[in-house]
Amino acid sequence: MNETAPSPTAPLRARAEIDLAALRANVRTLRALAPGAALMAVVKSDAYGHGAVRCARAALDAGATWLGTATPEEALALRAAGLPGRIMCWLWTPGGPWQEAIEADLDVSVSGMWALREVTRAARAAGVPARVQLKADTGLGRSGCQPGEDWAELVGAALAAEAEGLVRITGLWSHFACADEPGHPSIAAQLDLFREMLAYAQARGVRPEVRHIANSPATLTVPESHFDLVRTGIAVYGISPSPELGTPADLGLRPVMTLSASVALVKRVPAGHGVSYGHHYVTPGETTLGLVPVGYADGIPRHASGSGPVLVDGKWRTAAGRIAMDQFVVDLGGDEPEPGSRAVLFGPGDHGEPTAEDWAQAAGTIAYEIVTRIGTRVPRVYVNEEPGTSTATTTTTTADPAGTATAAGPAVTADTGKRSGT
Ligand SMILES: *Cc1c(COP(=O)(O)O)cnc(C)c1O
């Protein structure tokens, strides 16, 4: 979570440009889709690779009122960076920093009795009640308390701790397994069980501030899942949770990250020249090769060797041969772009560049993994950081062949937030 970031014009080896106006517009679009619910921006894993502190601030500027992380360390780092409001974290292990979390006024998730014991002990030591959210497993089969006896025991123990002044049960919550597959029967089944487990806890006297189950795909496609709060991650970053749900544009979203690199070398080679480790690509004729100076250490998936797309000098090229740790090669087919030209691996797509979804398809994975794995060696460059600025789908200039212009024109007119789809 570096607080200093390079300027959009610095001549960098590689950069992940983060368009905070797009992020704010996405948050506004999501809020419009779930008007009765508060919005939690999920900023775990350094905001899916986009930079947690700046993205969290931008999300709050656009009306998110909660931040969510997986680990308590991630949540504590946000608080230490001065982020206000409600911050929830859910991935706890025994011996975790419960007391620090209570003192930082975090909401903590509890899925089982061991966690409730640890949090009540920490609350006693801190002398302040812990904000506890009880998590139900309504069918994901991952974390969360099982329905039936386990839920009865956990709810009973949490109420007893609340009566002692050690915890405040602020939330009841769960998580979907298949919300990205519209109409999957588990969606309705999980909602039914969630309602049942809520009703049980509320009948016993739990008075939660928030009940929540919706992630991005449910926020986009299952309105009856919104309850009091929606927890959106991937959609905040402008990426569709699944191609089945449509493109980002179909959903009124705009991708926030543009990943590009500076072409490091262009050279003419003869026919029959092996390219990169293992010689899995051999030039079919005399051609030119371009060196793209990013590799799997930067999060470029090695599984996309021979298939990953990149826009160079206005044309789509494909990673030729193996993607190495720090670099890969594209066959430029005789073209000779200047060294220093931008090679755009992915971005919103409206300047002809590939998208994170294209890389996901090339690597046999999901776009979540593509953006999240972009490594710390790639500087994040923030554009449109001021809340007043907005971004227009038609005027950003991410594909800049000379590699010299400002990456995205700040403060242009159109507001993508007004395109909120339904
Ligand atoms: C990651 C996560 C989310 C956000 O999921 P998206 O599909 O990215 O919106 C929500 N809730 C929990 C518990 C998560 O772990």
Using alpha carbons, select from 422, 415, 421, 419 the residue that is nearest to residue 22: 415
Distance 353 CA to ligand 1 centre (A): 27
SS3 readout for 298-357: HCCCHHHCCCCEEEECCEEEEEECCCCCCCEEEECCCCCCCCCCEEEEECCCCCCCCCHH
For 8, 290, 299, 379, 380, the CA distances from 376, given in Å and listed in that order, are 17, 24, 9, 7, 9
Tell me, what's the pLDDT at 11? 84
Distance CA 259, CA 406 (A): 14
Please tell me which residue in 48, 237, 267, 277 is annotated as part of the active site.
277
Domain boundaries, the chain: 21-237, 257-415
Tell me, what's the pLDDT at 8? 72
Residues having CB within 6 Å of any atom of ligand 1: 42, 44, 70, 90, 175, 215-216, 231-235, 241
Helix pair 113-126, 149-163: axis angle to 10 deg: 10
279-305: b (≥16 Cβ within 10 Å) or e:
eebebeeebbbbbbbbbbebbbbeebb
- Could you identify the residue written with the tokens 């309705």? 188
Residue 44 annotated among the catalytic residues of the structure: yes
- Is 325 labeled as ligand-binding? yes
* Whether CATH 3.40.190.10 fits 257-415: no
Please list the residues that pair with 108 across neighbouring strands: 89, 132
**Strand pairing class (274-275; 309-312):** unpaired
Q: Which atom belonging to ligand 1 lies closest to the Cα atom of 70?
A: 15
pLDDT < 50 regions, the chain: 1-2, 392-422
Residue 277 annotated among the catalytic residues of the structure: yes
Q: What is the pLDDT of residues 364-408, one digit of tens each?
A: 999 999 999 999 999 999 999 988 777 543 333 333 333 333 333
* Residue having the nearest C-alpha atom to atom 13 of ligand 1: 175
| CATH fold match for the domains 21-237 and 257-415 | no
Distance 292 CA to ligand 1 centre (A): 33
Distance 138 CA to ligand 1 centre (A): 15
Please tell me which residue in 44, 48, 296, 368 is annotated as part of the active site.
44
Distance CA 264, CA 245 (A): 38
Distance CA 93, CA 102 (A): 16
Tell me, what's the pLDDT at 419? 28
Tell me, what's the pLDDT at 399? 34
Q: What is the CA radius of gyration of the chain?
A: 23
CATH placement of domain 21-237: 3.20.20.10
- Is 1 labeled as ligand-binding? no
